[in-house]
Copies of this chain bind each other. A is one copy, B any other.
Amino acid sequence: MILNVDLASEVPIYQQLRDRIVEAIADGVLTEGSSLPATRSLAADFGINFHTVNKAYDLLRQQGLIRLNRKTGAVVTPTAADPSFHPEWTARARTLLAEAVAKGIPADEILTTCRSVLDSFGTTLPEDTP
Protein backbone atom coordinates (compact mmCIF):
# COMPACT_ATOMS: atom_id res chain seq x y z
CA MET A 1 0.00 0.00 0.00
CA ILE A 2 1.40 3.36 -1.06
CA LEU A 3 0.28 6.37 0.98
CA ASN A 4 1.00 9.72 -0.57
CA VAL A 5 1.99 11.92 2.35
CA ASP A 6 3.62 15.32 1.97
CA LEU A 7 5.83 16.10 4.96
CA ALA A 8 6.20 19.73 3.86
CA SER A 9 2.44 20.35 3.63
CA GLU A 10 0.62 22.66 6.01
CA VAL A 11 -1.88 19.81 6.58
CA PRO A 12 -0.82 17.85 9.69
CA ILE A 13 0.90 14.55 8.86
CA TYR A 14 -1.45 12.50 11.06
CA GLN A 15 -4.41 14.07 9.20
CA GLN A 16 -2.95 13.26 5.78
CA LEU A 17 -2.28 9.68 6.89
CA ARG A 18 -5.87 9.37 8.09
CA ASP A 19 -7.21 10.85 4.83
CA ARG A 20 -5.10 8.57 2.63
CA ILE A 21 -6.19 5.48 4.59
CA VAL A 22 -9.87 6.51 4.40
CA GLU A 23 -9.42 6.92 0.63
CA ALA A 24 -7.71 3.52 0.40
CA ILE A 25 -10.71 1.95 2.15
CA ALA A 26 -13.13 3.73 -0.20
CA ASP A 27 -10.97 2.65 -3.14
CA GLY A 28 -11.15 -0.98 -2.07
CA VAL A 29 -7.36 -1.15 -1.72
CA LEU A 30 -8.10 -1.90 1.93
CA THR A 31 -11.07 -4.17 2.66
CA GLU A 32 -12.65 -5.63 5.78
CA GLY A 33 -9.98 -7.58 7.62
CA SER A 34 -7.05 -5.92 5.83
CA SER A 35 -4.12 -5.25 8.15
CA LEU A 36 -2.47 -1.86 8.28
CA PRO A 37 1.28 -1.66 8.87
CA ALA A 38 2.43 -1.52 12.50
CA THR A 39 2.74 2.05 13.79
CA ARG A 40 6.49 1.78 14.25
CA SER A 41 7.17 0.29 10.81
CA LEU A 42 4.91 2.80 9.00
CA ALA A 43 6.63 5.59 10.91
CA ALA A 44 10.00 4.21 9.83
CA ASP A 45 8.84 4.09 6.18
CA PHE A 46 8.06 7.80 6.21
CA GLY A 47 10.90 8.77 8.52
CA ILE A 48 8.45 10.18 11.05
CA ASN A 49 7.77 9.51 14.70
CA PHE A 50 5.55 6.54 15.60
CA HIS A 51 3.42 8.75 17.86
CA THR A 52 2.30 10.62 14.75
CA VAL A 53 1.13 7.37 13.12
CA ASN A 54 -0.47 6.41 16.42
CA LYS A 55 -2.54 9.58 16.31
CA ALA A 56 -3.76 8.85 12.78
CA TYR A 57 -4.72 5.29 13.73
CA ASP A 58 -6.48 6.61 16.83
CA LEU A 59 -8.61 8.95 14.69
CA LEU A 60 -9.55 6.02 12.44
CA ARG A 61 -10.46 3.93 15.50
CA GLN A 62 -12.62 6.76 16.90
CA GLN A 63 -14.35 6.89 13.53
CA GLY A 64 -14.99 3.16 13.73
CA LEU A 65 -13.04 2.34 10.57
CA ILE A 66 -10.32 0.20 12.10
CA ARG A 67 -9.86 -1.90 15.19
CA LEU A 68 -6.57 -1.88 17.09
CA ASN A 69 -5.31 -5.05 18.73
CA ARG A 70 -2.07 -5.76 20.45
CA LYS A 71 0.09 -8.10 18.45
CA THR A 72 -2.47 -8.30 15.60
CA GLY A 73 -2.13 -4.59 14.88
CA ALA A 74 -4.62 -2.35 13.06
CA VAL A 75 -7.35 -4.14 11.10
CA VAL A 76 -10.08 -2.63 8.91
CA THR A 77 -13.48 -3.27 10.52
CA PRO A 78 -16.70 -4.24 8.75
CA THR A 79 -18.75 -1.09 8.13
CA ALA A 80 -21.30 -0.58 10.90
CA ALA A 81 -24.36 1.67 10.79
CA ASP A 82 -23.72 4.94 12.62
CA PRO A 83 -26.76 7.23 13.01
CA SER A 84 -24.73 10.30 13.99
CA PHE A 85 -22.52 10.04 10.92
CA HIS A 86 -24.91 11.20 8.21
CA PRO A 87 -25.99 14.60 9.63
CA GLU A 88 -22.45 15.41 10.72
CA TRP A 89 -21.09 14.49 7.30
CA THR A 90 -23.80 16.47 5.52
CA ALA A 91 -22.86 19.59 7.49
CA ARG A 92 -19.26 19.26 6.33
CA ALA A 93 -20.36 18.52 2.77
CA ARG A 94 -22.51 21.66 2.88
CA THR A 95 -19.46 23.81 3.62
CA LEU A 96 -17.41 22.18 0.87
CA LEU A 97 -20.20 22.40 -1.69
CA ALA A 98 -20.91 26.01 -0.73
CA GLU A 99 -17.30 26.83 -1.51
CA ALA A 100 -17.67 25.56 -5.07
CA VAL A 101 -21.00 27.36 -5.54
CA ALA A 102 -19.56 30.61 -4.14
CA LYS A 103 -16.69 30.31 -6.64
CA GLY A 104 -19.26 30.23 -9.41
CA ILE A 105 -19.06 26.55 -10.39
CA PRO A 106 -22.46 25.49 -11.78
CA ALA A 107 -24.35 22.99 -9.62
CA ASP A 108 -24.48 20.35 -12.37
CA GLU A 109 -20.73 20.57 -12.88
CA ILE A 110 -20.20 20.12 -9.12
CA LEU A 111 -22.44 17.06 -9.14
CA THR A 112 -20.66 15.63 -12.16
CA THR A 113 -17.33 16.01 -10.38
CA CYS A 114 -18.72 14.26 -7.30
CA ARG A 115 -20.10 11.47 -9.46
CA SER A 116 -16.83 10.88 -11.25
CA VAL A 117 -14.92 10.86 -7.95
CA LEU A 118 -17.39 8.30 -6.57
CA ASP A 119 -17.08 6.24 -9.75
CA SER A 120 -13.30 6.21 -9.36
CA PHE A 121 -13.68 4.39 -6.05
CA GLY A 122 -13.81 0.61 -6.01
CA THR A 123 -12.20 0.33 -9.42
CA THR A 124 -8.90 -0.66 -7.85
CA LEU A 125 -8.36 -4.33 -7.07
CA PRO A 126 -7.57 -5.07 -3.42
CA GLU A 127 -3.92 -5.73 -2.64
CA ASP A 128 -2.81 -9.03 -1.09
CA THR A 129 -3.14 -8.75 2.66
CA PRO A 130 -0.23 -10.52 4.35
Contact = CB atoms under 8 A, between A and B. Distances in A.
Interface string A54-92: 000000000111000000000000011110011001101
Contact of A113 (B19, B90, B100): B90
Question: How many identical subunits does the complex contain?
Answer: 2
A79 B96 contact: no
Contacts of A98: 19, 22-23, 25-27, 121
A98 to B, nearest CB: 4
Nearest to A97: B117
Chain A interface size, under 10 / 10 to 19 / 20 to 34 / 35 or more? 35 or more
A81 B117 CA distance: 22
B92 A79 contact: no
A110 B113 CA distance: 13
A113 to B, nearest CB: 6
Contacts of A27: 98
Contacts of A95: 19, 22-23
Contact of A102 (B79, B93, B111): B79
Contact of A117 (B93, B104, B117): B93
6 contacts: A22-B95, A65-B102, A86-B105, A97-B118, A98-B121, A111-B111
